[in-house]
Structure formats: C-alpha cells, structure tokens
Amino acid sequence: MRHHERAPAGREPGAVVHRSAAPELDGGPRQARLVALQRTLGNAAAADWVRRSRGEAVQRTGTGAAERTGNAAAAGHGAAPERAGRDGVEERERRLSEEYGIRIGPPPGDRGHFTHAELDRIVTALATLPSEDLGPNEQLVAIEPDPGGARASAYDEDERTIGIVRPILAGGIRAPGWLYARLNRGSHWQRRLMDHGALSGMSGVGLRQDHRLGIRPGRRHVMAGVSDELAHGNLLEWTVRHEVGHSVDAMVEWSVELAAQERFGGWRVHGGDADGEVARAVLRKADLLDVLGGLPQAAAVSTLSALIRTPEVRENGGRLHAYFERFKALLAPPEFERRRDLALRFVRLALAQPWSLDDGGATVLDVEGRTYHVDQYDDWVSYSTAQRRAHALSNYQFSTPKEWFAEAYAACYDPEPGVGDRLPAEVRAWFEARRGSGGSG
C-alpha cells in the first residue's frame, strides 16, 4: 500500500465486502473476539470475521504481482478470489520452501501453518530481497509461524529461524492470520496498537514509571516517531524484510565490522565498560567529573561503573544516592542537589527504554554528541546523536545496533520508491552494492 493511498480502517484496497448481519452471539470467546475486532479494527473487520466464521468467501478485485511459482494467487493488494479455508496450504508451503531454499512453514510434524493470506505477504516481501540473502544465507533456515506466547515476531540467531507472531488485539486476543495480513503500518491507530504490544513487558516502561520520569502518556513510539510518512505499508511484509535483515546482519557480521562507523549510526556496545566511558558520561553530564580531581576521580569512575551495570542498578538503585554523598562536602547544598539529581535522572531515564521517545531522551542522555541508554537486552549502548536526528527511520531503529541494521535493510529493499531516502547516501549505496554483487557485504 502506498503511504499516500490509505484505505479506510479495517479495509484493504480492492476488497469488496458483502455486508451481512452478525449472527446471534451468546457470550464466551466468540463474543470476545468480535468485540476485540470492533474495538481495534472497526466494523468492517468484525463483519469480515463473521462471514468467515460462517464459511462465506470474501471476494477481492484488482491485480497484484503473481506468485513466482506461477500458479498461486497474486501476493499484492488483493488479486483473485481469496482461497477458502486452509485448502492446499501445506503443499503451498512446501513449494515455496523449495523455491526460496528455506523452510517456509512449521517444522515437520507440527500442525500449525500459515494462512494463504500470510503466505501472500511473505512471498511479496521475499521477492524484493537479494536472492543471496535467502537460500545461500547459512544464517537463515526457516520462516515459521510461532504459536507460542511471544509478544512479537523475532529472529532466533541460535536456531537461525524467523518466528512470525500474530499481533495481540484489544482484550488480549491474537489477530487471525487473514487479519494480520491486512494490518497497515501507515494507519496511526493501528500503529498505536502495535506500539503498545511491542513495549509491553519491557523493563522500565509503564504508566507509573513514566509518570515518575515526567513522560506524558502517548509520548512513546516504536514504528514511527520521526515522521508518520516513514511508517507505511503492510505490517507483515515489513516484518519479514526486517527479520531477514537480522539474519543478514549475522551473515555479513555488520554489527562486528561496521556498526561503529558514523554512517551506520556510530554505535558502541559498552558491555563491561572497562574504561568507564558510561560512568564518565554520567559524571560529565552532571558536571561532577572534575570535582574530585586526581586519583579519587579514577576511584569514583570505577565505583560508578560497577553500580550502573544492569540488573544490579535496578535492584540496588538506592546505592546510587549513597554514592553521590562523596560530592556533598565539595559543593554548596543547592548545587550539590542539582548535579546529583541530574546524574540520577540520567541513569533512571537510560534504564527506561528512552529510544522510544522521539528524541531518544537526548536532552538528558546526550553527552558530547553521543546518546547513552540501556537497550532491551540490558546492555549499555550509545550512538551518534547527529545520525539519529538526521537519518532515523523509526525510534526502534535506534534501540540497539542490530535493530538499526534490520530497519535499514527493510527500508532499502522496500519496493516503494524512496522509502530509504532518509538514510545517508553512502548507506543506501552500500545496500545497493550488495544487491549488485549477489548479496555479499
């Protein structure tokens, strides 16, 4: 879907919906699902589900790119009558697995399968990627439905598989496959729902925590944040490209070889932080680094480095107050309190997924052109503040180095012209060179 050609809520371009009255519902899971669909995607989606539950077909009109095997329904924005039920889905998964050189579908013996609508979107996404990133990519062996309790789709580096997870709707009900295939990143209210699901369960995020930090409701975003125009198109197609990007990162070792370059975000993963860079940044932000001077400075840095390592800092946050007492006798009381509070705010905000704020929390967390935070894997990381301001595609891109690459990969191989234009020209050239060289990094 073009970002400037948005369909009405809950509708896909070309979908012809034959309205019918809802069957009588007498409570229970069936009623709950209908209510969830109405709340999140509107009456059209709810009516669609009612028809499907009765076994009635939804007719689509229009044309799209045909599946490359030549005899399946088109994969774009609707083309041909929708397949009834799950007829032939296992055979289709088998054929697609042979074509792309990776398993598409569940492991042998598993009864969970993609729907045809999901396969349509997966095929559309894969058709835009360099062929070397699929079958010949030893870091990717499968794209499979994940029926477990995961919150979001993910690439498992150990298993070398992509698990596709259907989003959770209002009421805690997972979207059916046909509905997941319709979700649109360009819809503000759908994106808000997806952002809520992505952030739920992350450390440091919640109404109470945000209130303490002065973060107003609605200020956090995942898929957009920079510009609504950059969040567009089908959610499942973007997800497939994004997750394949993680496997390509592992294949070309981008995180190891290139992530630190300024054009790629200027990333540093501080880990044990033996040189105390993060602690020095905290103290420098609060104008405390030079207060002690001499040898006591080295001791102060090493002590703070130990205190701010996660998860210890979350468990022993009170020890930070005691740590800053060493500065009390060296400053006038109001100045001591101002500097101490600024340092404490730095650490607390850094622990609260500040990447989801539209400026990454840079007002507090930027020190000499670098923004610091603790990522969703409990690692201290930092990146070039200037790169984020000028070139970010989404807030999520600057959550951690691996997500930077996956978001850039999804954008650069998006078939919609100009999607990756916000990235630096040399980054776009790097991705284009990979396509021309058969996928090598």
To which H or E segment does residue 145 belong?
Answer: strand 142-145
Residue at token pair 């002690």: 292
Whether the bond between 311 and the residue before it is cis, its omega within 30 degrees of 0, is: yes
Please give the model's pTM, rounded to 2 decimal places.
0.81
Q: Which residues pair with 357 in a beta bridge?
A: 220
Q: Which amino acid is at 397?
A: Q
What integer is the mean pLDDT of 94-121? 94
Distance of CA 12 to the CA centre of its chain: 23
Q: Determine the pLDDT at residue 371.
A: 98
Are the CB atoms for 177 and 222 separated by under 8 Å? no
To which H or E segment does residue 384 belong?
Answer: strand 380-384
Cα gap 163→150, rounded to integer Å? 9
Residues belonging to the chain = 441
Measured between alpha carbons, how far is residue 231 from residues 65, 234, 262, 424 in Å? 22, 10, 24, 18
Q: Which residues pair with 103 in a beta bridge?
A: 142
Among 122-126, 198-202, 400-404, the range scoring the smallest mean pLDDT is 198-202
Whether pLDDT at 77 is above 50 = no
- What is the band of 419 on the pLDDT scale with cuts at 50, 70, 90? confident
Q: Determine the pLDDT at residue 11.
A: 28
Among 52-61, 207-216, 309-318, 365-374, the range scoring the smallest mean pLDDT is 52-61
Query: What does the pLDDT look like over 205-242, one tens digit per residue?
Result: 988 999 999 999 888 988 776 655 667 789 999 999 99
Across 216-225, 302-311, 432-441, the highest mean pLDDT is recorded for 302-311
Residue 214: phi and psi, rounded to 5, are 75, 20
Q: Determine the pLDDT at residue 310.
A: 79
Whether pLDDT at 364 is above 50 = yes
Distance of CA 161 to the CA centre of its chain: 17
Distance of CA 30 to the CA centre of its chain: 30
Whether pLDDT at 7 is above 70 = no
Residue at token pair 């981008």: 254
Q: Which amino acid is at 70?
A: G
Give me the sheet containing 380-384, strands edge to edge.
268-269, 380-384, 370-374, 366-367
Distance of CA 7 to the CA centre of its chain: 23
Q: Which residues contact 320 (CB under 8 A, 6 or more apart)?
A: 307, 308, 313, 343, 344, 347
What are the residue ranges of helices labelled H in 127-187? 177-180
Q: Determine the pLDDT at residue 52.
A: 52
Across 81-90, 371-380, 431-440, the highest mean pLDDT is recorded for 371-380
Cα gap 61→81, rounded to integer Å? 8
Distance of CA 236 to the CA centre of its chain: 12
Residue 182: phi and psi, rounded to 5, are -100, -15
Helix (H, G, I), strand (E, B) or coil at 125: helix
DSSP assigned state of 174: B
User: Which has the higher per-residue pLDDT, 78 or 417?
Assistant: 417
* pLDDT over 70 percentage in the chain: 76
What integer is the mean pLDDT of 319-338? 94
Cα gap 263→427, rounded to integer Å? 7
Whether pLDDT at 188 is above 50 = yes
Distance of CA 267 to the CA centre of its chain: 18
User: Which has the higher per-residue pLDDT, 38 or 253?
Assistant: 253
What are the residue ranges of helices labelled H in 286-332? 289-292, 294-307, 312-315, 318-324
